[in-house]
């Protein structure tokens, strides 16, 4: 039987947590259902009969709408190549309002590590810890990424790290294809400006977006791909995302193989 009593605050919070809600987007709650009702004003009040339309029809005040997603993708594609430095690119992202994720994120998570590094790692999108501090990969999966780097003699002074999406999706939901397309020109320009010899995509969403692959990570990991930065062709590899390895440690062995391959390629590139 369904209980008649209203849920206690504790029960409500437990329900939210289970539904994946782990952050507040505003100070006050917002009743989205009443907003929808307000939009459905009965037709006669909204559409004046044609005979009574005044000569100078008063302009209807428009709310501040974000650009339509396709227009935003177009504007991202035009904007990103204009950045001549990483600082300029960060500035462009700070001003870019095309992606709704910016409104719910705490901070822009642009990049970390050495911008002169010869190797760059690209993740998917920031999580809660990254959002709070504005630095990629500093939460649990970041700690594992640091261990993965250390295993092949790297750390953040010798590698550069960024994400396809620089703003945290609310509740860590998957970014939508539109959001990914919107952010893609910026991460591509970031790769071009860092100009590494090797780019490593962490996980399926990153490898599919950056390397334009259709297959999943099981098929694509550990293989070399050519990546055209716009100014030259470099080598790229996909491997497992550290967050996935935390859930599926069995794949650490394959990741180790990928890391060894990457280490050898980096060493060979140093000699030439």
Residues that bind ligand URA (CB under 6 A): 123-127, 130, 136-137, 139, 141-142, 163, 243
Nearest in space to 244 (alpha carbons), one of 227, 221, 213: 221
**Least distance between ligand URA and beta carbon 139 (Å):** 6
| Closer to ligand URA by Cβ: residue 74 or 143 | 143
Q: Which one, 130 or 179, has the nearer CB to ligand URA?
A: 130
Least Cβ distance, residue 161 to ligand URA (angstroms): 8
Where are any strands of DSSP class E within 152-210? 160-163, 198-202
* Contact between 130 and 139 (Cβ < 8 Å): yes
Give the tokens for residue 74. Answer: 């177009």
Tokens for 68? 């339509």
The distance of closest approach from Cβ of residue 146 to ligand URA in the complex, given in angstroms and rounded to an integer, is 12
Minimum separation from the CB atom of position 232 to ligand URA (A)? 26
Q: Which is nearer to ligand URA, 124 or 192 (CB)?
A: 124
Nearest to ligand URA of 113, 126 (CB atom): 126
The distance of closest approach from Cβ of residue 131 to ligand URA in the complex, given in angstroms and rounded to an integer, is 9
| Beta carbon nearer to ligand URA, 67 or 170 | 170
Q: Least distance in Å: CB of 121 to ligand URA?
A: 9
Q: How far is the CB of 123 from ligand URA (least distance, A)?
A: 3
- Give 165 or 234: the residue with its C-beta nearer to ligand URA: 165
Q: Where are the alpha helices (H) located in 19-68, listed in sequence order?
A: 32-39, 43-46
Are 86 and 187 in contact by the 8 Å Cβ rule? The answer is: no
The answer to whether 175 and 105 are in contact (CB under 8 A) is no
Query: What gap in Å lies between CA 83 and CA 91, rounded to an integer?
Result: 9
Give 210-249 as a 3 state SS string: HCCCCCCHHHHECCEEEEECCCCEEEEEEECCHHHHHHCH
If the CB atoms of residues 133 and 181 are measured against ligand URA, the closer one turns out to be 133
At closest approach, how far in Å is the CB of 201 from ligand URA?
10
Q: What's the CA gap between 239 and 115, in Å, rounded?
A: 21
What is the CA 223 to chain-centroid distance, rounded? Answer: 24
Residue 145's H or E segment, with its range, is: helix 140-151
Q: Which residue in the shown chain puts its C-beta closest to ligand URA? A: 123
Q: Measured from the CB atom, is 125 or 237 closer to ligand URA? A: 125
Cβ-based neighbours of 180, under 8 Å, separated by 6 or more? 164, 165, 205, 209
């Amino acid at each position: 039987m369904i209980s008649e009593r209203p849920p206690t605050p504790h029960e409500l919070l437990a329900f939210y947590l289970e539904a994946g809600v782990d952050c507040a987007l505003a100070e006050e709650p917002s009743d989205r259902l009443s907003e929808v009702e307000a939009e459905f004003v009965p037709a006669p009040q909204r559409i004046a009969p044609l005979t009574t339309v005044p000569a100078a029809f008063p302009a209807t005040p428009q709310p501040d709408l974000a650009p339509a997603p396709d227009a935003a993708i177009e504007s991202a594609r035009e904007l990103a190549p204009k950045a001549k430095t990483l600082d300029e690119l960060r500035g462009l992202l700070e001003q870019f309002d095309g992606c709704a994720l910016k409104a719910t994120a705490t901070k822009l998570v642009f990049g970390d590590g050495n911008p002169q590094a010869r190797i760059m790692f690209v993740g998917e999108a920031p999580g809660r810890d990254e959002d709070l501090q504005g630095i990629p990969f500093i939460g649990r999966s970041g700690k594992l990424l640091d261990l993965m780097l250390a295993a092949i003699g790297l750390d953040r002074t010798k590698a550069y790290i960024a994400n396809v999406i620089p703003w945290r999706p609310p509740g860590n939901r998957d970014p939508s294809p539109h959001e990914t397309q919107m952010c893609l020109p910026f991460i591509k320009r970031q790769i071009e400006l860092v100009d590494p010899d090797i780019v490593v995509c962490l996980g399926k969403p990153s490898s599919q977006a950056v390397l334009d692959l259709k297959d999943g990570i099981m098929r694509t990991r550990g293989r070399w791909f050519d990546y055209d930065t716009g100014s030259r062709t470099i080598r790229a590899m996909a491997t497992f995302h550290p967050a996935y390895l935390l859930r599926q440690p069995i794949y650490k062995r394959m990741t180790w193989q990928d890391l060894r391959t990457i280490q050898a390629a980096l060493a060979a590139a140093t000699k030439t």
